[in-house]
Amino acid sequence: MENNSTVVKEFILAGLTQSQNIQLLVFALVLIFYLIILPGNFLIILTIRSDPGLTAPLYFFLGNLAFLDASYSFIVAPRMLVDFLSEKKVISYRGCITQLFFLHFLGGGEGLLLVVMAFDRYIAICHPLHYSIVMNPRTCYALLLALWFGGFVHSIIQVALILRLPFCGPNRLDNFFCDVPQVIKLACTDTFVVELLMVFNSGLMTLLCFLGLLASYAVILCRVHGSSSEGKSKAVSTCTTHIIVIFLMFGPGIFIYTRPFRAFPADKVVSLFHTVIFPLLNPVIYTLRNQEVKASVKRLFSQHLA
């Protein structure tokens, strides 16, 4: 239930920029990017599900990453494209809360999925003899359920805190979508404690996951560097790919959520990459760096073209 003091029924979105030419340029770029990369995510899911050779936990989690990123890309991008062509950019109070919930639900789940993928690589590279025992199908599904639950808890805390805030005007959000920092600033009450709780919930979690992931991959790379196994280059390639995605995923999140909610000129650009561009790129980066998935995609195309 929303707070009884809330009289704001809708929010006006300021948009990405006031320049019509820049808006049209960004619209065209995002639309092209969306139409090319989004089918790529679904192709990854189809390839992994249809190829019996891609049954290892790594591919199971990669398929889920593609699904999460594809779902995440539907939260902001379609509405943003419509708003680019609209004179008045308006979102209802309930629509704003819904957008915010799914943004952090799927975003939190993806962050935890990257932690799970790091754990998977650690067991595979550092304890290969125990890998099939530790990462059995039951464990994989349990980890998947845990990360979905973790994303839900993370997001519902944000929503619960915002629903308790009164909104009595103004109702102009200085962004192209609804997110915690901008929405909280419009509350007509002192939000210092809520902001601290939000920074703790989003910012600290993001930072700890990021540092933990970097530390885990540093351990893996040190372990691999000291070995002379023939799978060394493959392990280094896999870890490098994961580290690239970690920086793409957590870098903007740390910039946005680990500081007091003050506006910076770069906020909108960082948010654009964080919510629209990077989610579509992540699985593609994995695919381009993974020889087995690339070979499977080629086989899938050749079978349909034959």
DSSP state of 227: -
CA gap 276, 118 in Å, rounded: 24
Convert 45-74 to b/e letters by CB count within 10 Å (16 or more is b): bebbeebeebebbbbbbbbbbbbbbbbbbe
Helix (H, G, I), strand (E, B) or coil at 305: helix
Res 95 pLDDT > 90:
yes
Better-scored residue on pLDDT, 232 or 239: 239
DSSP 57-78: HHHHHHHHHHHHHHHHHHHHHH
> What is the sign, positive or negative, of the torsion defined by CA atoms of 68, 253, 284, 145?
negative
Judge contact between 112 and 209, C-beta under 8 A: yes
pLDDT of residue 82 exceeding 60: yes
pTM comes to 0.87
Q: What is the pLDDT of residues 264-302, one digit of tens each?
A: 778 888 888 888 877 777 667 767 667 777 788 778 777
Beta strands in the chain (DSSP E): 10-13, 90-92, 172-173
Res 96: pLDDT: 94
| Pair 12, 171: CB distance under 8 Å | yes
* CA dist 105 → 42, 94, 147, 153, 276 (Å): 20, 16, 10, 8, 16
Contact 77, 276 (CB under 8 A): yes
CA–CA dist 129, 135 (Å, integer): 11
The pLDDT tens digits of the residues spanning 105-161 come to 999 999 999 899 889 988 988 888 999 999 999 999 999 999 999 999 999 999 999
- Residues 155 and 98: beta-carbon distance below 8 Å: no
The predicted structure's pLDDT at residue 23:
83
Residues 179 and 103: beta-carbon distance below 8 Å: yes
Quick one: pLDDT band at residue 1, thresholds 50, 70, 90? very low
At 269, which amino acid appears?
A: V
Cis peptide before 57 (omega within 30 of 0): no
Q: Beta strand pairing status for 10-13 and 172-173?
A: parallel
Query: The tokens of 155 are what?
Result: 């997001």
